């Protein structure tokens, strides 16, 4: 099955399979974490399967802005009619720019849709570089706002770095958004659905890994420690750590799908969407909340 179809599989009922364990796992694989970075579940909210099933972002400007969510039901008709039929996990900058990643089922480009603090929308199209995967699962903006990381589906050892569309002065809706650099990872990751910066050089990521062979657990929460703040020129590497398995609880048994992630800098709250299997996708999919320690 093409990777874009796998990424969107929660939009239809998944075949039932054996339920993966929901207990926390004591990880023994290389690159695993100790007690120093423990994320404890503190609660959950129902995730609507149409409008809250792909990603989420906390928005700091203007003050008291509501959290933003993405799902198949949030894609504007004008975009889907032009083939942009999948939206991923978004992010927002400190100054209030909000960025959604889009992909098509085929072609040679991906797109980032940007809403400026004043409310106006613009589109930034990126033509795929040689060897770059088509899918566009997520974006994560650096704390300084100038650079944006993004990822590819499947088993990968890199992250992509772009100038932040609409923020970095080198970008324009009328010009191709260039791939500026890559972050080389010291451990492979699989099916990353979202990442967010929790500090200048630290990413927290949700992985939909269905196999568990990379870290000894399926659906892990990952931390990636960068050797330096991303830029368009400096060589940056990333050390990958598996922190825990994401919650897998539902009235239905079958295949869960880990989705987007958000770290709210104002409260220190981490949130991750997990879509439930089969029919329960409609009833008990959740946005789980975590606190450090």
Which residue's structure tokens are 């974490």?
33
State the greatest distance between any 2 C-alpha atoms of the chain, in Å, as a whole number: 50
Give the confidence band of 29 by pLDDT, cuts at 50, 70, 90: very low
- State the average pLDDT over residues 264-284: 97
**Residue 174, C-beta contacts closer than 8 angstroms, at least 6 positions apart:** none
Q: pLDDT value at position 36?
A: 58
Q: pLDDT value at position 34?
A: 47
**DSSP per-residue letters across 251-263:** SS-S--EEEEEEE
Q: pLDDT tens digits for 76-128?
A: 999 999 999 999 999 999 999 999 999 999 999 999 999 999 999 999 999 99
Q: Which of 254, 218, 268, 272 is nearest to 53 (CA)?
A: 272
Asked if residue 217 has a cis previous peptide bond (ω within 30° of 0), the answer is no
Strand 91-92 and strand 68-70: the pairing is unpaired
Q: pLDDT value at position 210?
A: 97
Residue 252 has pLDDT above 70, yes or no: yes
Determine contact, residues 125/158, Cβ cutoff 8 Å: no
Domains for the chain: give ranges and CATH numbers.
3-292 (2.120.10)
Percent of the chain at pLDDT > 90 equals 85
199 alpha carbon, distance to own chain's centre: 16
Rounded-to-integer distance, Cα 63 and Cα 20, Å = 40
Residue 154 DSSP SS3: coil
């Amino acid at each position: 099955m093409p990777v874009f179809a796998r990424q969107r599989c929660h939009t239809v009922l998944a075949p039932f399979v054996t339920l993966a364990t929901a207990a926390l796992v004591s990880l023994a694989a290389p690159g695993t974490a100790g007690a120093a970075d423990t994320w404890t579940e503190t609660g959950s909210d129902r995730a609507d399967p149409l409008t809250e099933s792909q990603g989420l972002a906390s928005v700091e400007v203007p003050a008291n802005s509501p959290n933003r969510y993405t799902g198949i039901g949030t894609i504007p008709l004008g975009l889907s009619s032009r083939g942009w039929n999948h939206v991923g996990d978004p992010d927002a900058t400190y100054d209030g720019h909000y960025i959604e990643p889009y992909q098509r089922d085929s072609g040679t480009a991906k797109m980032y849709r940007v809403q400026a603090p004043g409310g106006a929308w613009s589109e930034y199209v990126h033509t795929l570089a040689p060897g770059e995967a088509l899918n566009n699962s997520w974006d994560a903006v650096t704390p300084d706002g100038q650079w944006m990381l993004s990822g590819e589906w499947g088993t990968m050892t890199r992250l992509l770095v772009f100038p932040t569309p609409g923020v970095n002065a080198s970008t324009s809706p009328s010009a191709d958004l260039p791939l500026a650099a890559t972050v080389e990872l010291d451990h492979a990751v699989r099916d990353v659905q979202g990442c967010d910066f929790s500090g200048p050089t630290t990413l927290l990521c949700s992985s939909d890994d269905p196999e568990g062979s990379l870290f000894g657990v399926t659906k892990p929460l990952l931390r990636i420690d960068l050797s330096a703040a991303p830029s368009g020129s400096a060589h940056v590497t990333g050390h990958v750590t598996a922190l825990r398995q994401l919650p897998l609880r539902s009235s239905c048994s079958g295949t869960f799908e880990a989705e987007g992630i958000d770290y709210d800098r104002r409260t220190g709250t981490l949130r991750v969407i997990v879509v439930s299997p089969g029919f329960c996708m409609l009833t008990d999919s959740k946005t789980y909340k975590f606190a450090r320690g």
